[in-house]
Each structure stands twice: as C-alpha cells, then as structure tokens.
Amino acid sequence: MSEFKELITQRFAARGIPVSEKQVGQFVIYAEFLLEYNEKVNLTAVKTPFDVVEKHFCDSLTALWLPQLKKGARCADIGTGAGFPGVPLAIMRPDLSMLLLDSLKKRLVFLDELAVKAEIPNISTFHSRSEDGGRNPELREKFDIALSRAVARLPVLCELNLPFVKMGGYMLAYKGPAAAEEIPEATKAIQTLGGKFETFYHDQKDQDTRHGIIIIKKIHPTPLRFPRQAGKPEKEPI
C-alpha cells in the first residue's frame, strides 16, 4: 500500500468519511500530482503527505455532511487555488457540478490536467478575478452554493462570493481561528449583499473546533453595484 493510500484510508476513517476504492485512487492521484506539480508551480506551502491529506483533503471535506449541499447542487469554488475545497468535494460527491474559479491561469492548467488524470468529470474551470466573475451574466446568481477556503476575511469574502449565489442558495466560508471575530465584523456586508448569517459549523471529529464553515443564506438579490471593481472590496470592505 502506498503512503498516500494508507494515509487517506486511515485519516478518512478517523473522520468517519466513507470512501470507495475508486475515490481513494482519485485522491492518491491528486496528492501525488499536486506535490509533483508544486515543484515547478507554487500551488501549496503544504508539502508533507500527512499534511496534504489532513490539512487539505480532510479539511475540504468538512462540508460533506451539510444539508445545504443538496443532491445535484451547482457549486462554485471561488479562488480555488490548487482545488480546495472544490475538488475533494467533487470526488466524494459525483452528483455535484463544481466550477473552479481562479485568477491565475497556471493553477487552472493544473486542475484541468488533474481532472483528466484522476477522471473527475464533474469539475470545470473558469479563469477570472472573483469581482469580474460576479458581474458576468453567465455566473451571477447562478449557483446553489459558492464556497471558498483561505481566501479573505469575511466582509471581503461576502462581496466576492454572494453575487454568485442564487436566491435560496448558500455561501460557505471555510474559516480558521479568527472565525468568531469575523462574523460580527461582516454583519453590514452580509445584509448589504443579500445574505443572512445562519450558523458556524464545525466537524465534531476535528479536534480543532476553531476551524469550521460559516454558512450564509442568500435571501435577497445582490444589488447591481456589487461586486465593485477588482481590488476595491479588499481595500475598502463594506
């Protein structure tokens, strides 16, 4: 058994994540290709096999149990980077349609190659800044779920993500230790952009309960003036 196969089997079992042989194989290909590709293109600072499995794969799958992630949901991973959390979720949930959006083409080239290598037919890529994508009529308010991991603080992230979410859909923001202070900080942005804070969810099997997902429901259309031009949300948060 390869090191990655053993780690994936062990760590997923520890988190109570049921995984098939085919899915294990897809994750092994993902992990090996990620570290190989990382030698020429900087995709991740995480470089040990254990950390790839625990900090990238398992953390990405925190959303796996959420009732908001309904069967057949159309999802957008905004600022996907090396494919987290979108690709692990797409592997575990073949019923999901997962768009991977990023501003750096070299990351999307990696993800397009990965989709072929690991045979993940339910992912696609889109090259764009988040602000530009949120104003694109093909993408604006077209998704059941918009999710992001390690992209920006919540007030900024709301402006980047909520324009993609259709009415009744959800924004899922993967967050670390600063989550508690970011929620009240984002109250104005959430309301302004058409959202409503629902809850902060964390995996009961994750020992670090400071990490989890902020869930925001889209209850009103996002005003047409948002998102603002590229760079403005970060420089002048709502």
Instruction: Give the closest residue to 99 by CA, choosing from 65, 134, 67.
Output: 134
The answer to whether residue 26 sits within a structural domain is: no
Tell me, what's the pLDDT at 71? 97
Cis peptide before 223 (omega within 30 of 0): no
The answer to whether residue 181 sits within a structural domain is: yes
CA dist list (Å): 3 to 17, 18, 58: 19, 19, 16
The answer to whether residue 38 sits within a structural domain is: no
Q: How many domains does the chain have?
A: 1
Domain that holds residue 135: 63-235
The answer to whether residue 44 sits within a structural domain is: no
* Residue 118: CATH number of its domain: 3.40.50.150
Amino acid residing at 119: E
The answer to whether residue 164 sits within a structural domain is: yes
Tell me, what's the pLDDT at 202? 82
Query: In tens digits, what is the pLDDT along the chain, a chain of 238 residues?
Result: 588 999 999 999 999 999 999 999 999 999 999 999 999 888 888 889 999 999 999 999 999 989 999 999 999 999 999 999 999 999 999 999 999 999 999 999 999 999 999 999 999 999 999 999 999 999 999 999 999 997 889 999 999 999 999 999 999 999 987 788 899 999 999 999 999 999 999 876 665 556 799 999 999 999 999 999 999 999 999 9
Pairwise CA distance, residues 177 & 189, whole Å:
20
The answer to whether residue 177 sits within a structural domain is: yes
The answer to whether residue 96 sits within a structural domain is: yes
The answer to whether residue 35 sits within a structural domain is: no
pTM of the model as a whole: 0.95
Tell me, what's the pLDDT at 210? 62
Tell me, what's the pLDDT at 226? 97
Pairing of strands 195-201, 212-218: antiparallel
